Structure 1
C-alpha cells in the first residue's frame, strides 16, 4: 500500500523533473524530504514494481528523426514471445505491442520504428523481415506528431 509521501513522489515524478543541475534535490526540497529519502523511496517503489523505470521523452521531429513507422505484423501465436523479445532488443524499436485481431485486420503484433528518414525505416523493416522470418506486415507511417502529455498520478488525491 502506498502512503501519502509515496503518492506525492509519484505525482511529482509524473510532472517531470525540474531542469536544474540537481533535479532530485530540487524535487526533494519541494516535497519537504531529504534527497536520500527521495532516492530510497523511489528505489523501493521500483523494487515493488510500482515504478518500472524513469526516462525522458524525446520530441522525434525536433531531434531530427524524420522516419517514424508503426509496423503491424502477423505473428503466429506460438512465436509472439520470441518475436517480442527479439524486437525489444533492437535500439531502433521503441515500442512493441500485442493486440487483438479483427475480422478485417489480421495484425496482432506492433512495433514502432524510428530512423533518420522513411527510407531508413524501410531498410530496417526489410532487415527485420529477414531476421524474424516474417513476411506479412503493414506499414503505418507517421503523418503528424501529436504531442502527448504525461499521465498524472495521484495529483487529485493529494
Structure 2
C-alpha cells in the first residue's frame, strides 16, 4: 500500500491555534452546521433544543464568530445544480516556489480551495466556471496553466458523487468518526431551471449572515419583499436541489481539526458502486467522489478525512479500508492552505477575469 506523507512546514499561524470549547459549545456548533432552520427567527428552535434562551444562543454564536471558530453562517448552494461546471485539478508547479503559481490560480473567482500536498502533483485546487463562460472549464485551465507556469495539470472531474458534507462532528470521539453510520446512494446533481427571481434571491442571500434574531431580514430588504417570501424561495431552491442547506462553516484548526487527509483508493470499476456508498457512510469522511484514472494515477475513489490529528485521520481511513477490503490506497496530507472560500454565484467577477486573461 502506497503512503504519501506530507512534511508540514513549521510556521506561525495567526488565528490558527485550536480554541478550548465547552460541551455546550460543541453541541451548538453541531446544530449550527446541520440544523439551521429556514425560519424568520432561526435561533429560537436551536435555543429550545439546547434548553437555553434565544439571546444566549445568539450571543454565543457571535462569540464563536469573533473568535474565528465559525468562518461564516451562509446558504450553501449546489454548484452543479446552479449550472456551473466544476472540478478538482492536480497541478505540477515549481516545488521551490509553489506560492507563486498558487497566487496566480487564486485570482480566478471560481477557485474555492487550493492546497499544497506532498506529491509530484503538488498543487490541488477546485475551480468552477459560469454556465455561460466564454472560455469554458478546459479553456480556463489552459489559461491558468500558461499564467502559473504549471508543467502539467490533471483534470479530475466528478464522475459520481457519493457524499459532500462539509460539517465537522464536534462531539464524536475518534471511534465515532471511524465508525460507519449508514450507506448512501450516489447522486449526480443536474442543473435546475432558475428564474430571474431565483437568481436574485441567490445573489441577495449568499455570503455571511449576521448572528441576530432575524438574519434573513437583510436579504428581504435588499429585494424589497417580506422575509416570508425570501424563506419560501429558499425552501423552493432547497426542494429543487439548488440549495443544500443554510449552515455554519468552521475554521477547521480553530475548531480543533488540525489535519485533513485525502485518501485515494484503487477500486476496480465493477466495485465502485458497491464500495463508494460504504466509504461515504463514515462520519469522519466529508467528501466521497469517483474520479477518472490515468496510467500514472490508478485511484478512482477520493475520500476526504478530517481529524483532530494526523493519527485520527489515519484511523478513519484505516477503518474504511477494513470495512471495504480495499488496500491499494495513498493518503495525501496538505501542508499549506493557499485558499479556502465560499463561492459567490452570478456575480461579475467571472466575466471580468475572462475579459482580462481570456484574450
User: In structure 1, what is the Cα distance between the partners aligned to 2:215 and 2:324?
Assistant: 41
Moved more, 140-149 or 63-72: 140-149
Residue 44 of structure 1: how far off its partner (Å): 1.2
Q: CA deviation at 1:112?
A: 0.5
Partner in structure 2 of residue 54 of structure 1: 246
Map 1:43-122 onto structure 2 (within 5 A): 43-122=235-314
For residues 135 and 115 of structure 1, what CA distance do their matches in structure 2 show? 21
Corresponding residue number in structure 1 for 2:316: 124
In proportion to residue count, which structure has more strand? Answer: 2
Unaligned runs of 5+ in 2: 1-192, 349-359
Output the TM-score relative to the length of structure 1.
0.88
Q: Structure 1 unaligned segments of length 5 or more: list them.
A: none
1:26 — aligned with what? 218
Cα separation, partners in 2 of 1:99 and 1:65, compared to 1, 3 Å: same
- State the distance in 2 between where 1:64 and 1:118 align: 12
8 Å contact 1:18–1:26 — kept in the other structure? no
SS at match of 1:18: coil
Q: d(CA) in 1 for partners of 2:209 and 2:249?
A: 12
Provide the rounded CA distance (Å) in 1 between the counterparts of 2:248 and 2:273: 27
Mean Cα displacement is larger for which, 104-113 or 123-132? 123-132
TM-score, length-normalised on structure 2?
0.41
Secondary structure of residue in 1 paired with 2:338 = coil
RMSD: 1.7
Compared CA separation, residues 147 and 20, structure 1 to 2 (3 A): farther
Pairs aligned (count): 156
- Aligned residue for 2:227? 35
1:94, CA displacement in angstroms? 0.8
Kept after mapping to 1: 8 A contact 2:263/2:305: yes
Q: Find the aligned partners of 1:82 and 1:16 in 2 and give their Cα distance.
A: 38
Q: 1:148 to 1:30 in 2, by over 3 A?
A: same
Separation of aligned partners in 1, 2:324 and 2:245: 28
CA apart distance, 1:50: 2.4
> 1: CA distance between counterparts of 2:250 and 2:342?
12
Q: CA deviation at 1:59?
A: 1.6
Structure 2 contact 282–320 (Cα < 8 Å) conserved: no
The answer for the alignment partner of 1:15 in structure 2 is 207
For the pair 1:140 / 2:332, whether they are aligned, the reply is yes
